[in-house]
Every structure is written in C-alpha cells, then in structure tokens.
Structure 1
Amino acid sequence: MARLMLRIKVSMILIGLFCTLYLGLLPLSEWFERKDLVAAPEEIVFVNTSVCHVSGPRNPAAFCCAIEPINKLRCRMPQLLTAVTQDGSNFLEANKISEDLNCRYWLKSRYTRIHSGRYTTDGRFDLKSGANRKIKIGTGEQIVRIRCSDKFNETKYHDVHYFLPPPDRKLKPTESPEKLSVMVLGIDSVSHMHFVRYFPLVQSFLENHPHTMFLGYSRVGLDANANLVPFLGGKSRRVAVSDFLSDEKFSLWEGFKMQGYSTAYGEDNAKGILSGRNGDEELPKNKVDFDLTPVLVEMDNHTRYSIDLKERIHCTAGRKFQEVLRHFILQLVPYMQGMLFFSFFWQSQGVEEYYEYASHLDLSYMMLLKKLVDADILNNTLLFLMSDHGLRAGEYRMSLQGMKEESQPLMVAIYPEWLKRKYPLAVGNLEGNAHSLITPYDLRETLADVLVLGQLKNANIEVGMKRLQSQPAHKLPRGISLFLPVPDHRTCELAHIPPLFCFCRELTEIPTDDGLVLRSSRFLVESINQLIKPFGQCRQLKLEMVLLAYFLDLGDESFVYELRLRVRTTPGSGVFEATVRLSDVLLLTSPISRVNHYLGQSHCVGDPGLKLFCLCV
C-alpha cells in the first residue's frame, strides 16, 4: 500500500512538472512561430500605384567585381597649418613642425573674380622646428594660399584656407514662426539600395528623427546637372494656392533671396554640377551669400593633387576636397543658428567612380547630421538628403540590378517634429507619397510651398487637393508639391520621365540577332555619329555587337513599340544604352547613356556631353 501511494505521488509530481514545463514553454514556441510569420519580406517596394508597381530584392546578391582598394586612397601630404578665427582676427596655427620652413602667403577676397590671378596682398613668415605658433593673417572673410619650403627650396606644404568669422550676434534677426530653412545635402551616384548597403549609421540616425524616404523618386536626365537644374531652376505649372516661381528664369535661389533667406552653395569639385565650366556660369549672379566655389577654384589651380589612378579624387595638403566641403558646412552653422537659410551642398568625388566608396562616407555624414542636431539646426530646417541617380558606369551598372538602380536615386526628407503637428494634412500627404512616382520637378514645387509655409494649413491644402483631383490626366502639371497627394494614375509619361529611366514598364528580353533589333541598333550608333560629326577630332563609330535588347510593354491599347538597347561600338569599345521607337521611321525616345568608363579616350573635347561619345583621333 505504501509503495502504491509513493508511485501515485511520484506520478502526480511528474505530471505537474510536465504541465509546468509545457505551459511555460508554449508562449516561447508561439513567439518563435509569430517571428516566422512576420519575417521581413524578401522584396522592397519602390512604387506602388494603380498604374505602376516597381519592386526589387531587399538584399541583392553581393557584388565583388568592382571592389577597389579604396581604403588606401588617403591624402599623402602633411597638414601643417589650420585656420582659426579668434577675437575677430584670422590666424594660421602651426603645430609640431619637424623642420625649419620659410613660408609665403597670398590673400584674396572671395569677391575677386573667380579665375583672376590677382591677390589683395601677400607676405612671408618663418616656421621653426618643433614650434607651436599662430600667424596673424587679417580679419573678416578671406581666402589665403600658403606655400612653405625647406632650406633646399623644396615645397613641403602647399594649401588654401578659407576664413569665415562667426556672425555678429547683435544682428540676429527676429525669428518667424511661419518660416522654415532648407538644406540640400547631396551625394552623387547613390541609389536607394546603395544607401541601404553602405549607410547603416545614417539609417540608424534617421530612425530617431521624423523623416520620409521617397522610394519612388526617379531621375529625369542623364547626369547630375540634368536632374538638378529642373529641381533648382526649371519651370513648372503650379496646382497649389500660390504661384511664386511661375517665371521660367525664376530659380529657387532668387525665390528664397526675395523672401529674406541667406543662401549658401558648396561642392567638392571646382568644375561642379552648378558651377559650370568657368566656375560661376550656372548660379544666379549675386544670389549666393556664401559660396565655396572661389576656394575650390584656388585649390584646383594651385594645390590640387590626385590620389587615385583615375585622377577623380583630389586633395589639398592633407585634406580631401570632400573634407573641405564638410568643414565649410560646419563653418556656416553659427550663421544658420541665427537666420533663415537656403543651402545647397553636393559631393561627387569618389562616389561616381568607385562602387564601395560610399562605405567610407557613412560615419562622416552621420557625424555631420548629429552636429546639425546638436546645434539645433534641424529643429527649424527641411533637409533633403538626396542623390541624382545611381552608379552610371562600371561593372555593377552592366548588371540588370545595376541598370535598375541607376534610375532609383536616394531621396529622404528630414523635418522637425512640430511641422506635422502644425500642418497635419500637408505632412500627412508628404508621408503618403513615399511610394508614389515623383521627380525633381516635384521637389521644386515642394520648396515653393515652403516659401509660403503658412499656406500649408489644412483649409488651403484641401483646396489644392480638390484642384488637383479635378485635373484630367493629360493636363496634370509636370511638377506637383509633395504636400499634395500625387495622383495614383500618374505614369512616367505624365511625370515627364523618359522611357530609358522608367521601370514601370515590363521588360521582355528578346534575341539580339533579331532583324528589327539590328536595324534599331545601327540607328542608335548612327545617332551618336551625328552628334560628334561636327567635331573632326572625334572618330566615327560602328556597331560591333548588340549586348542586350528588351521589348518595352506599353500596354494592350498602345500601337507603338519600343526597344531598350545596349550596344558596343568600335573602335574604343564604348557601351551605350537608349530606347528606340519603331514606327514608319525610327525615333530615339531617350537620351543616349554611356555605361562603361571612357577614362582618357575623350581628352580632346571639353564638353562633358561630348566626352561620353568622342574617341579622340
């Protein structure tokens, strides 16, 4: 009997232990099951409208063929001097000089004609080995070039510095509750997926700040200039309440200046996107208060040296040009704290040429954004972190994924928290456009609304929404403010996106030896020859091979047929892409894009547009 009772007790204990373990582990097993159910999708959706759906792999296969030894691309000259402004005076500060040096400097104002060799004054000073010394240069805004030589007259240091003294706090304007500063922070040739791959720190920063990532942002032109000029200066019809920028020659620079904003512009290239071939052709005269161009031109003319074989990444002394640009932005922070600003900054060196170069920018851009937060700049600023297109040339661009990413540039809007509280309908529309098909023309209309921020109140936005909804499809404006809902039926044609840059259409690969494909490909090459024919120094090209051919589906109701072609030409092995429409006559329906590097083949022409096609005799 005692044994029986013992067995019963043991059985009850075991049953209780089993139930405890089972019931305790059940929530854990359910947690694992739920985790599987909500696993991240394998694809990311870029555009999701009734007429366009564009998606792609969330984690595209690793690409190793374009890896460059970018970790070795460092400036090889020493940085012996730094520029500091103290108590209203400008100084060159020397630290730990290793040998006796004799230095000469030249001063000029940024208002001096950019390519002029004139200097307002010059002077000399000595640096002794091991000495820490400050050399007073002058006062106010100045550009100074310094060359230091040793006793054998060998140059040991050659650099250009820019002095921008902090603003006078007494001149701080009265803050307006109905104004918002604007900053464009651009990185060339970065697609959305390239940003996902190589900017984890910036992505973590964004998670903690109000922002909208526009995955349906598309380019409308081949290069940076063709995509940014429509943004900063292109004409577009308005659908919102006001119409500040209806004049075709009315650029955003002028619009913001008229509204009392200070303006700033800087690139990391003396011959940049907006500066033009002569340094100041594209920017409106007298519309930029703080311009880095004269500093970069002085560096480009005197102190520049390259650190890569392609000669696309430049240094001055111990600093890359891109570091000079970021320092310029930080120099402007005290000004941005006290006044309204419209500022445009753009980096292109390195990222245009090297697939993995973007990975070395993540930390610096995260730190820059953090400093803007710490200085309270972003609490009163709409910031566009953006690009112009993806990688345009190289091995990765030759892949199907690279071809798609070229037309899916990065576009993120970062804004203060109070903006959504104050204008809920407008910002709600902004966030709702995350997967809409949008272009640089829309960005321009959005900033036109920022100029009259008070009109983003719900009642005004409702009027604009009704007006937009009443527009028939064929009369939709080219640019639509992102504070309004971009119509669901907007197509690439309605958004003025050329066929070569539109991935709303399905691509069907067809044989490259098809008769129509060969005829269209020869027409494409002949179109290139017509472009370069007036230039005798450029060789005429012949079709060597059709590399790829796609049929573009324009829908069942269309009687038009288009082909997307990739061809290789001889001599020179240039690889080009374009779309050709098949009708009674062949017609190019897109710009012609070159998708492999031409390096020094086009040295005999200066026009960037011709360099794509010209093989010098």
Structure 2
Amino acid sequence: MARLMLRMKVSMILTGLFFTLYFGLQPLTELFERKHLVDAPEEVVFVNTSVCHVSGPRKPAAYYFAIEPIKKLQCRMPQLLTAVTQGGSNFLEAKRISENFNCKYWLKSGYIHSRQYTTDGQFDLKSGTARKIKIGTGEQIVRIRCSDQLNISRYHDVHYFLPPPDPKWMPTERPEKLSVMVLGIDSVSHMHFVRYFPLVKSFLENHPHTKFFGYSRVGLDADANLRPILGGKSSRLAGLNFLSDEKDWLWDIFKMEGYSTAYGEDNAKGILFRRNGHKELPKNKVDFDLTPVIVEMDNHTRYSIDLKEMIYCTAGRKFQEVLRDFILQLVPYMQGIPFFSFFWQSQGVQEYYEYASHLDLFYMMLLKKLLNADILNNTLLFLMSGHGLRAGEYRMSLQGMKEESQPLMVAIYPEWLKRKYPLAVRNLESNAHSLITPYDLRETLADVIDLVQLKDANLEVGMKRLQSHPANRLPRGISLFLPIPDHRTCDLAHIHSLFCFCRELTEVPTDDGLVIRSSRFLVESINQLIKPFRQCRQLKLEMVLLAHFLDFGEETFLYELRLRVRTNPGNGVFEATVRLSDVLLLTSPISRVSHYLGQSHCVGDPDLKTFCFCI
C-alpha cells in the first residue's frame, strides 16, 4: 500500500512538472518556431526618385578588426576630484583617498580664453577624508596637479565651472521660437548608424523624427561638409545664393534673432575650422565655448589610450565625456531661452570602425537626459555626420567606398511642430529618400529662424516658386520643409562625381590603356599641387587598384572614370574621377583613403598633408 501511494505521489509530481514545463515554455517554443510572414529586407533604400536609386546591404562588408580591442580603451588614471557649483560658489570635491596628496592649482576667471592664469594656489588632501575646496564664483577653468609624499605626480586634470543661470535674468515666458541643436558624430555613415546604434534607434521610435537616407556629402572632410551649413550666406539669410567669404556664421545670425549660442568639440585641433585654428570663431561669436577648456587639457593633461594615439583622456575622463558634461551644464540655460548649439565628436570614430558600437549607450543616455529636461520639446535636433569612414580596411571595400558619401542625418523634432505646421512636417518626412545636401540644411535653418515661413500658406507659395524653376536649373539649396523635386540629380544638387552613387559603376580592367593614362594624369595632378613645396617628394604611380566607368546615360556624351591608385614613396592610396576627352580633366577633389600619420610632419596645412611625403 505504501509503495502504491509513493508511486501515485511520484506520478502526480511528474505530471505537474510536465504541465508546468509545457505551458511555461510554450510561449518560448512558439517564439522560436514562429516564422515571420515577411523577412527583413537585405537591402536598405537610400535614394528612390525617378532619376536616382541608391541602396545598400544591411550587413557590413568584410573588414579586419582593429589591432587592439576597442572595449579595453579606457582611461587608466584616477579621477580624484569633481567640479561642483553650490550656492553660487565653485568647489573641487575630493573623494576619499588612501594616501596623502599635496595639490597645486592654476585658475582662469572672467575671460577664460586668455592664455594667462588669473591666480594660483595649493591645498592638501588627507588620506581617508573627503573635502571640498572652494575655488571661486562664475565661469572658471582650473588646472590641478596633485603629488604624493615622494613628489611624484599622481593626478593632473582640468575642470570647467559653468554655474546655472541666475533666475532673475531668465525670461518669465519663453519666446515662441524653436531652438536648434546639432549633435555631430564624425565619420559615421547612415548604415554604420543602423548597425551599431540600436539603443538610439529605439529611442527615436518613441519620438517624432525623420531619417534622411539620401543625405550626401559635398566635400572631402567634415570641415568641407559643415561650412555650407554653418559658414556661408544663403538666399534668404543674406540675399545671395552662393557661399561668400564665410564671415557670416550661423552663430551670428541666430544671435541677431535673440538666440543664445554654444559650440563644443572633443578635439583641440578642431575638425571644424581646423584650417586656421579657432581664429575664425572668436569669443564674441558664441556665448558658451568649450574650446579653451579642451585646449587647456590638450596642452597640459591629455594622454593617449590607443596605439594610434587618437583617443585622449584627462585624468579618468575621455575628451568625449568632457563634451557631454559641457552639454549637460548648458541644460539650465536651454530650458529658459531659445538656443543654437553645435557639438561635434571625432575622437575614436575617425580611426576605428567598431568604436561606434561603444557610443550607442552614451548618446541614448544623453538624448534621454535632454528629453527629461524638456529640451527636446522646444528643439529641432540634428543627429548627423559629415561623411562615412574615410580611411582604413573597411573603407577599401566597395560598400565602404559608397558609405563614405552617405553620412548620417536624422532630424528630431517636438510633437507640437507636426500639429502646428502640418504641411511643413509632411514635406520634411516626404524627403526621407530624396537626394539632399548640406546646402539644403542651411535653407532649412533659415525657415527655423522665422517660423512664419512654415505656415501652410507661405509654404504653398514656396512650392509654386520651386515648381516654376526650369527642370535643369534648381536652387543649390532647398529647404527640407519643401518637397525636393523628384528630378533632382547629383549635378543639380552640386554633388561631385566622386561623391555621387546615383550613376551605375562598371568595373574596368586596371591594365586598360586609357585607365593607365588617366591614373598617371591623376598622380601628375597631385604633383602639381605639391610642387611649390620642396620638402615634399614628387610621387609616382605604383599601381592602379580599382577603376570604374561612370554611366551618365544615353542622353549625354560624357565619359568618366573613377580611379583608385597607389603611389610611392609612402604607399599613399588616392581616389578621384577623371573625365575622358581630348584633354583629361579632374572632375572631383582628390581623396586620400589611406592613413598618412607622420609621413607629412613637415607641413601644417591639413589639405597639403594628405599629399605630402616629407623628404
């Protein structure tokens, strides 16, 4: 009897266990067994118009990973002090430490762009104790060096104080204006973003936005692609329809319209304005400028954490974290007044394809903080890049070559903008797969400055005016709040052949006589550029690596070759397009797609550095 009861108990337990496992795991089983009715497309469409169709694979082309694990690139120095502003005063807050330190500091107050320190001082940090050191008040930069009992430097850092605004000086009612913020990530193509930013993509799905898949570069580097947006005159902003001598920056124009302005990069050399340093953007052009802080770090406290010495830290923070903290310090100001702000990150992403994957959480958290602070409810935010990866193994692939000209561009806007200006936002969204450029972004910002332009009646007038243009003569820049004409080509959009992938590429044998002749002409063109500089070696064609014939269609008699060549000395790899006729003609800038590192140490001009192999 006891055995029978035991068997029954075991049977009941096993039956219960069976039903628990079956019904508990059934949803999971169905998840694995369920087949999608429609498989995710392998191709992503970028441009889809009557005259241009550009698409690309979701999966990246094959490439070699970095020679060092990106995930291990962390700052190795301690972060002993943090900057805190409380009760109108600035403090350095020390964590509990395990030994005694003697610290000296140098301070800049008032005009922080000055090279001279206004004061200096020293303080002690005792083992096992926490301490706050009062520094002063207002906007300040302080550099601190702490040494141990053997006088060995153990901490060296720069801190920036930006106290919150005085409520007495903030307007009681926010003007009816739309703020503008540019969050730039250098060298990130649209597909690079699709593959490596899943958290940011999820954030976007819960906020009104438009991804501009057809956004194209018009210049070689970030500087050349940002100047049409930030540094030129446009038809409605200055009565002209071409870029002038670049004296009227957007910072000036927004300030004249009552906006506060801010600018920050994580690179002291400046990806933007790098040709002449930061002399082109003096203090009076922006209200809040991170430049003197980054320069101070670059001169005194930076150290590199990668073999190529391209990713910098100061104490326990990467330069990109300094940029993020600067943006967050500005939040109290952005909450009360209309703002035009421009921020750009370049460290890491310029050199390493896989570095982008470690920025996803960083930017998702930044966007979330801006959302929680109600900044996004009053801001048109552009998450963008100037171009894709410009050099390296991935760039050498055919897909990498295409992605270089397909930079990231996403517009994020508040919900009320769709309700108040329905035609404007409808046009904006309709341009997601149109061929667009930085010139269009400039015209778009002209409309943002004057929101009256976004009213349906005014847009309808603009749409009729755009339709009245001859088919072969469109404005170079067209506001994205207007529908970009379907017949727009690369030529009409002022996009060089080297950057245009609307035209089909047909691979040509590299030993073809015309290819060899055109390649020699390309190298000779480089030599003409560096000829006045005796410290630069003249280059010779070593090998034609790739040649493509560009299809202009049957209606034209134009013939061009897209070439990739390697030269010596230096093993430089260059690309350009050459038009074939009685006289060969370069129809694009010459792009270097290989690293040159220290080969060009004898010249300072960044444009010349790409070509010069120093003697």
TM-score of the pair, normalised by structure 1: 0.92
Mapped to 1, the partners of 2:373 and 2:333 lie a distance apart of 11
Shift of 1:106: 0.6
Alignment of 1:238-257 (within 5 A): 238=236, 248=244, 249-257=247-255
Shift of 1:96: 1.6
Question: Which amino acid in the other structure matches residue 49 of structure 2?
Answer: T
Structure 1 spans left out of the alignment, 5+ residues:
1-28
CA RMSD in angstroms comes to 2.0
Shift of 1:71: 1.2
Report the equivalent of 1:361: 359
- For 1:495, what is the secondary structure of its paired residue? coil
Counterparts in 2 of 1:51 and 1:366: CA distance versus 1, 3 Å: same
Report the equivalent of 1:89: 89
Which of residues 307, 310, 313 in structure 1 aligns to 2:311?
Answer: 313
Which of residues 223, 226, 229 in structure 2 aligns to 1:228?
Answer: 226
Mapped to 2, the partners of 1:463 and 1:283 lie a distance apart of 36
Question: Which amino acid in the other structure matches residue 185 of structure 1?
Answer: L
Mapped to 2, the partners of 1:150 and 1:68 lie a distance apart of 32
Question: Which amino acid in the other structure matches residue 266 of structure 2?
Answer: D
Report the equivalent of 2:217: 219
Mapped to 2, the partners of 1:140 and 1:275 lie a distance apart of 28
Counterparts in 2 of 1:597 and 1:438: CA distance versus 1, 3 Å: same
Alignment of 1:345-360 (within 5 A): 345-360=343-358
Shift of 1:33: 10
1:76 aligns to 2:70 (yes or no): no
Report the equivalent of 2:54: 54
- Would you say the 8 A contact 1:442–1:480 is kept in 2? yes
- Would you say the 8 A contact 2:232–2:243 is kept in 1? no
Shift of 1:246: 8.1
Question: Which amino acid in the other structure matches residue 107 of structure 2?
Answer: L
Mapped to 1, the partners of 2:208 and 2:106 lie a distance apart of 46
Structure 2 spans left out of the alignment, 5+ residues:
1-29
1:387 aligns to 2:385 (yes or no): yes
Question: Which amino acid in the other structure matches residue 331 of structure 1?
Answer: Q
Question: For this pair of structures, how many residues does the alignment match?
Answer: 583
Question: Which amino acid in the other structure matches residue 595 of structure 2?
Answer: H
- For 1:437, what is the secondary structure of its paired residue? coil
Question: Which amino acid in the other structure matches residue 370 of structure 2?
Answer: L
- Would you say the 8 A contact 1:254–1:284 is kept in 2? no
Shift of 1:168: 1.0
Mapped to 2, the partners of 1:34 and 1:76 lie a distance apart of 47
- For 2:583, what is the secondary structure of its paired residue? coil
Which of residues 607, 610, 614 in structure 2 aligns to 1:609?
Answer: 607
Which of residues 318, 325, 328 in structure 2 aligns to 1:327?
Answer: 325
Mapped to 1, the partners of 2:441 and 2:282 lie a distance apart of 19
- Would you say the 8 A contact 1:253–1:284 is kept in 2? no
Shift of 1:99: 1.4
- Would you say the 8 A contact 1:183–1:342 is kept in 2? yes
- Would you say the 8 A contact 1:220–1:501 is kept in 2? yes
**Cα deviation digits, residues 123-179 of structure 1 (max 9, x gap):** 111111111000000000000001111122111111000000001112222545631
Report the equivalent of 1:404: 402
Counterparts in 2 of 1:250 and 1:473: CA distance versus 1, 3 Å: farther
- Would you say the 8 A contact 2:63–2:393 is kept in 1? no
Counterparts in 2 of 1:412 and 1:67: CA distance versus 1, 3 Å: farther
Report the equivalent of 1:413: 411
Report the equivalent of 2:565: 567
Mapped to 1, the partners of 2:510 and 2:63 lie a distance apart of 26
Mapped to 1, the partners of 2:560 and 2:282 lie a distance apart of 39
- Would you say the 8 A contact 2:61–2:400 is kept in 1? no
Counterparts in 2 of 1:68 and 1:194: CA distance versus 1, 3 Å: farther
Question: Which amino acid in the other structure matches residue 76 of structure 2?
Answer: R
**Cα deviation digits, residues 300-353 of structure 1 (max 9, x gap):** 111111111111111111111000000000000111111110000000000000
Question: Which amino acid in the other structure matches residue 586 of structure 1?
Answer: L
**Cα deviation digits, residues 174-195 of structure 1 (max 9, x gap):** 5456310000000000001100
- Would you say the 8 A contact 2:103–2:147 is kept in 1? yes
Which of residues 584, 593, 612 in structure 1 aligns to 2:582?
Answer: 584
Report the equivalent of 2:448: 450
Shift of 1:534: 1.4
Report the equivalent of 1:529: 527
- For 1:475, what is the secondary structure of its paired residue? coil
Mapped to 2, the partners of 1:168 and 1:106 lie a distance apart of 26
Shift of 1:279: 4.3
